[in-house]
Amino acid sequence: MYKALVEKDISYEGQFVTGVKTTGIFCRTTCTARKPLRENVEFFVTAKEAILNGYRPCKICSPLENIGSTPPQIQKLLAELNENPSLKLKDDDIISRGIEPNTLRRWFKKNHGITFQAYQRMQRLNTAFTKIRKGESVAGVAFDAGYESLSGFTDSYTSLIGTTPSKSKDKEIIHMTRLETPLGPMFACATEEGICLLEFTDRRMLETELKALSKEFNAVVLQGASKYFEPLKQQLDEYFKGTRKEFDLPLVLKGTDFQKEVWKELLRIPYGSTRSYKQQSIALNNLKAIRAVASANGMNRIAIIIPCHRVIGEDGSMTGYGGGIWRKKRLLDIENSQTSLNMF
């Protein structure tokens, strides 16, 4: 555990916390603060245990919060923008809300891959796109969105959407949001029909997946609200607490017929169980397609809900997982612990 602390090994995240005797604080494994000497630390299984032993949470790594959680001031700012997307907040406005502009910029670049100003613009244009598709006039939508000129609105709109306002009525929109989980933040995407993507934000090839979605749906991916995001968040929270074993959200799957069959078969793997790729192939009545099954599993864009984490090597080993092997192990641990409890 001390080795994991020194190396900031994220695979141990959530398995223990470290109490530092010299400061009286406790930290998560990945804390970036200077590491204490071995004789000055003790380890606890839970944060509650550390608190009962007189330690207080570290202000640097915030061990009581989810990995990558949104600071309270930024949460309020996002809620304000969601309530009124036409807001155009500048540095003075941000400072008046108790946030340092450079801190906000760094947080957005790290967690959304764009600046706060770009995020605001995306929110406004998302709302504008929806209104135009419903038949509202371009001029009225432009001024409602806070633009002072029609030409300025058209330039911004065309740059982001890929076509002019008057020609965008046939284009679809994919709404995207950021969700926080005990295993790190995730991006969720939804069309009008349902959830089409759920991935950890640090997943390799995520940008490629988003581009593919945009092409397959003839849509633009924009930060914005969807009626599916709140129930998705609630069901994920219940899953991580061990009180939900199945999800009942509408899913929108884009892929070949074979890929869709593989993903549907993944949904049939019971909670708390695992299968090998060979067993998956047998279930699909195609024993020769083991590699194709593995490839289709890797193309799954809806993590956790379509449980590709339940497929392991034939020898029981943790095989590849887009969100990281450590997350795959943690997801299986969560399910196995609940299954074990239900046996008593």
Sign of CA dihedral 339, 319, 212, 10: positive
Q: State the CB neighbour count (10 A cutoff) for residue 307.
A: 22
pLDDT of 344 reads 40
Do residues 318 and 328 touch, judged by C-beta distance below 8 A? yes
Residue 61 bears catalytic tag: no
pLDDT of residue 265: 94
In a 10 Å sphere around its CB, with 0-12 CB exposed, 13-18 middle and 19+ buried, how is residue 70 labelled? Answer: middle
pLDDT at site 274: 93
Residue owning tokens 């997946």? 209
Among the listed residues 27, 31, 61, 308, the single catalytic one is 308
Instruction: Please state the separation of Cα 10 from the chain's center in Å.
Output: 17
Confidence at residue 57, expressed as pLDDT on a 0 to 100 scale = 92
> What is the token pair recorded at 63?
């061990």
pLDDT of 339: 56
Beta-carbon neighbour count of residue 177 at 10 Å?
20
How confident is the model at residue 342, as a pLDDT? Answer: 52
Amino acid at 253: L
Q: What residue has token string 């590699």? A: 291
Pairing between β-strand 25-27 and β-strand 56-57 as defined by DSSP bridges: parallel
Which pLDDT score is estimated for 233? 96
Asked if residues 121 and 157 have their Cβ atoms less than 8 Å apart, the reply is no
Would you list the DSSP string of 111-148? HTSS-HHHHHHHHHHHHHHHHHHTT--HHHHHHHTT-S
**Domains of the chain in sequence order:** 2-57 (3.40.10.10), 72-231 (1.10.10.60), 255-337 (1.10.10.10)
Q: What is the largest CA-CA distance in the chain?
A: 69
* Helices 116-133 and 150-161, packing angle to 10 deg: 100
Which pLDDT score, from 0 to 100, does residue 267 have?
A: 95
pTM of the model: 0.76
Residues, the chain, total? 344
- Beta bridge mates, 17: 44
Q: In this structure, what token pair is assigned to residue 219?
A: 């849509």
Rg, Å, the chain Cα set: 23
Both tokens of residue 55?
């330690």
10-residue stretch averages of pLDDT, the chain, 344 residues long: 89 85 92 92 89 91 81 86 81 90 88 84 82 83 81 84 78 88 92 95 86 88 89 95 93 93 94 91 82 89 95 82 87 79 46
Residue 303: partners with Cβ closer than 8 Å, 6 or more residues away: 186, 198, 199, 200, 203, 309, 322, 323
Helix%, strand%, coil% for the chain, nearest 5: 45, 10, 40
| Mutual angle of helices 116-133 and 101-111, in 10-degree steps | 60
Which helix (H) or strand (E) segment holds residue 80: the answer is helix 72-83
Kindly list the strands in the beta sheet with 195-200, ordered across the sheet, starting from the edge strand earlier in the chain: 195-200, 186-190, 172-179, 219-223
Q: Residue 10 carries which side chain, given as an amino acid letter?
A: I
